[in-house]
């Protein structure tokens, strides 16, 4: 037993720290081994680090909806975590969810933590909201155009029918 313990001490470099779940997840994402990275993030001991790791892995893997779902779950137990708030806001805006993006950015700003202003995200949010307003106005114009066009066509058909009807 003592020999096995000594062999482990000799085999391992002196003072080497063991890789955390988050460190392993980041390394595995860089190697594009996402399934293993998610498993490493799940093994993280600290709940906040586990939530951050899971969101990071899914975001990097391209599963934005999954990352946002896990991020919002993490925010339920850690509502003031600036990293989760910023990451979830970024993902929400990537998914063109301006309402959720604004809510998350307001919560982030309310934390008062350094970097909580997220000016790039705010600029993107403003552009996204302006685009949504333009889209809504264009849709309204299109609907009115269709309604007026159908009305004009109906009037033209009624006029033709009236002209074609026999006179007494």
- 2 has a pLDDT exceeding 80: no
Looking at the domain assignment, is residue 137 inside a domain? no
Closest CA to 68 of 40, 101, 21: 101
Token duo for residue 17:
């720290």
Q: What's the CA gap between 93 and 53, in Å, rounded?
A: 20
Q: What is the pLDDT of residues 112-168, one digit of tens each?
A: 776 656 666 667 777 777 777 888 888 889 899 999 999 999 998 888 888 887 876
pLDDT confidence of residue 137:
87
Token duo for residue 126:
């403003």
**Domain carrying residue 54:** 17-132
Q: Is 98 helix (H, G, I), strand (E, B) or coil?
A: helix
CATH number of 70's domain: 1.25.40.10
pTM of the complete model: 0.63
Number of folded domains that form the chain: 1
Q: What is the pLDDT of residues 41-57, one digit of tens each?
A: 888 888 999 999 999 99
């Amino acid at each position: 037993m003592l020999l096995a313990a000594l062999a482990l001490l000799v085999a391992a470099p002196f003072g080497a720290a063991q890789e955390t779940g988050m460190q392993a997840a980041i390394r595995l994402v860089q190697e594009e081994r996402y399934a293993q990275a998610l498993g490493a993030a799940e093994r993280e001991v600290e709940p906040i680090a586990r939530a951050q790791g899971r969101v990071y892995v899914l975001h990097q893997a391209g599963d934005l909806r999954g990352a946002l779902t896990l991020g919002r779950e993490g925010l339920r137990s850690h509502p003031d975590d600036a990293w989760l708030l910023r990451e979830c806001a970024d993902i929400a805006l990537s998914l063109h969810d301006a309402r959720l993006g604004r809510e998350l950015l307001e919560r982030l700003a309310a934390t008062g933590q350094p970097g909580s202003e997220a000016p790039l995200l705010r600029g993107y949010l403003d552009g996204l909201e302006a685009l949504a307003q333009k889209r809504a106005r264009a849709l309204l114009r299109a609907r009115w155009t269709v309604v007026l066009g159908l009305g004009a066509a109906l009037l033209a058909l009624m006029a033709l029918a009236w002209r074609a009807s026999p006179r007494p």
